[in-house]
Amino acid sequence: MEMSMYSAVFGALSTETRLNISANNLANVNTTGYKRDRVSFEDTFYRYAHDYHMDPRGDIRQKQLLPRADLIAKPRLAMQQIDFAQGALTATGNPLDLAIQGPGFFKVSAGQGNSYYTRNGAFHRSAEGMLVNDQDMPVLGGGGPIQLPEGRISVGGDGAVYVDGAQVGQVDVVTVQNPDALMKYGANLYMPQTGATVQEGVLRAGTTEVAQGFLEKPNVEVVEEMVSMIETQRTFEAYQKVMSSSNELDTKAIRVGTDKM
């Protein structure tokens, strides 16, 4: 089989992954606090057999004993990453809508001592009087749930929660020093990757602020994603043509070999 067939197959698979990622980003263009996914590539080098036996010594005339190394570079998808770039803030007027301006995450309780990270600050007051998110998970403040008595609610830039002027809690807003250790859990929540440890850090003054009455838009650029999808689709079609041409060459070679027998 021609090497071009293998290259085209793996290229088409990589392109399919890019297309799925762009489609998912576009599907979440209205999801509050959503962070887009992106992929990166790296060169995979294939070495010929003689490259593994390189003798640096030369003879008296410094004549090269072995041929030069022959390398074939083939780009492949290296990893899928989350782009945690800041999204624009939009005003809602809802006192329980909170947005993070700068790095950081809210924390919500998943029960049994577990918690998730999120940038979605569309919170509300539950029937039990707790501050919860869209999935009715308690928003953590000081490591525990925040109780909201009846009254006028205000939230400071540092996350302090006041009801009628009296502080009743402090919304936990933490930074993650190794965001690559996070993975998407679903419902716009993040959790540590399997076997990874998330290193939380203390917020530095002046770098992060909680904005009350605002929500963070997704950091997805519609035009950019649409252009990426068109480019990816055309690339996939090009790989299809390469596979078709390679198959035709293989078929002709087989027929010629059969006729000579």
Q: How confident is the model at residue 250 (pLDDT cuts 50, 70, 90)?
A: confident
Residue 73: in which H helix or E strand, if any?
strand 71-82
149-184 per-position pLDDT tens digit? 999 999 999 999 999 999 999 999 999 999 989 999
SS (H, E, C) 96-129: CEEEEECCCEEEEEEECCEEEEECCCECEECCCC
Structure tokens at 40: 């990166």
pLDDT of res. 234: 92
Backbone angles phi, psi at 12, to 5 degrees: -65, -40
Compute the distance between CA of residue 70 and CA of residue 48 in angstroms, rounded to an integer: 6
20-53 per-position pLDDT tens digit? 999 999 999 999 999 999 887 666 665 555 444 4
Q: How confident is the model at residue 261 (pLDDT cuts 50, 70, 90)?
A: low
82-122 per-position pLDDT tens digit? 999 999 999 999 999 999 999 999 999 988 888 999 999 99
| Domain positions in the chain | 3-84+221-260, 89-216
Residue 43: in which H helix or E strand, if any?
strand 37-47
Average pLDDT of every residue of the chain: 84
